[in-house]
A = this chain, B = another copy of it.
Amino acid sequence: MFSERLAEAQQSVERRLGQWLDDAATPARITDAMRHAVLGGGKRIRPFLVLESARLFAADADAALDVAAALECIHCYSLVHDDLPAMDNDRLRRGKPTVWAAYDEWTAILAGDALLTLAFEIIAGSNSTMSPAKRVALTLALARDSGRVGMVGGQCIDLEADKLGMPKNPTLAHIRHLQALKTGALIRFGCVAGAILGDAKPLEHTALVTYGDRLGFAFQIADDLLDVTGDEATVGKAVAKDAAAGKATLVSLMGIEAARTKLAAVEAEAVAALDVFGQRAATLIEAAAFVSNRSS
């Protein structure tokens, strides 16, 4: 069930992103770089969460697909900017050249800016039946989860560690905070988006916030474990980067076994949060297992 749903989501999100990126008024170089950044790759786990959380409420699937596309634009822009020489200096992403390596730095900066902006254009401009109030709620949540108190904030804390060695001895709480912003916030947004689209009751909304928060944590523990235990061909990007850089991660601070135990506990918490939805949440339960046990 889960793998069919994920494959379906990948296809429909790819198609919708392609439609949004097909814009004759945009300079060709920007369109090409945006397409390079967005199309033809990625697990699409964040947009999948939007589609599945919206499905819990039988919310308008067309609206959910636009919100899913918007979220993926934010995720992809963040990769384009993160890969820049001044940031992580990565030349390879999903087995192909990063945008700055394929084009140049200025094109990557602008394509990232354009994708970030397009996310908000999509939510405001979606042809779906989304009410203005829902568009505003989604815009606000996405802006906060992707901006200074969300992803960008987490990226800053991460680079302060990498580039400036701050703080000197990061605690587990510091790492956890960093990751909750850097990767957690967008994953949580994917789950909360469904609650907004579906007019969730407060209890259901809270359940999706908790699920999203736990899922983001599980995602990050699994990521840190993969950096230590995965092999580059399967993972699709360089591994052992953190260890080589002497970077503090959940795994370096906790040890591999404790991290695995924690991951199982966090996955269980994610699943428990879905109780309120009963059988309807079967696919999201499988998603928690997928995120926790992934090998890439």
Contacts and interface: CB of A to CB of B under 8 A. Distances in A.
B118 A148 contact: yes
A79 to B, nearest CB: 12
Copies in the complex: 2
Contact of A143 (B25, B105, B124, B153): B124
A116 interface: yes
A106 B149 contact: no
Contacts of A29: 156, 160
Contacts of A136: 124, 132, 135-136
Given A117-B147, A118-B147, A118-B148, A109 B132 contact: no
Interface string A144-169: 10111100110111011001000000
A281 interface: no
Interface-central residue, A114, A124, A146, by most chain B CB under 10 Å: A124
Given A26-B149, A160-B29, A110 B143 contact: no
A232 interface: no
Contacts of A86: 104-106, 109
Interface string A125-146: 1000001110111011011101
A120 interface: yes
Contact of A121 (B30, B143, B157): B143
Contacts of A121: 140, 143-144, 147
A116 B113 contact: yes
A105 B155 CA distance: 14
A81 B25 CA distance: 22
Contacts of A147: 113-114, 117-118, 121
B159 A143 contact: no
5 contacts: A30-B152, A30-B156, A120-B143, A125-B140, A139-B139
Given A26-B148, A30-B148, A112-B113, 4 more contacts: A29-B160, A81-B110, A87-B106, A125-B144
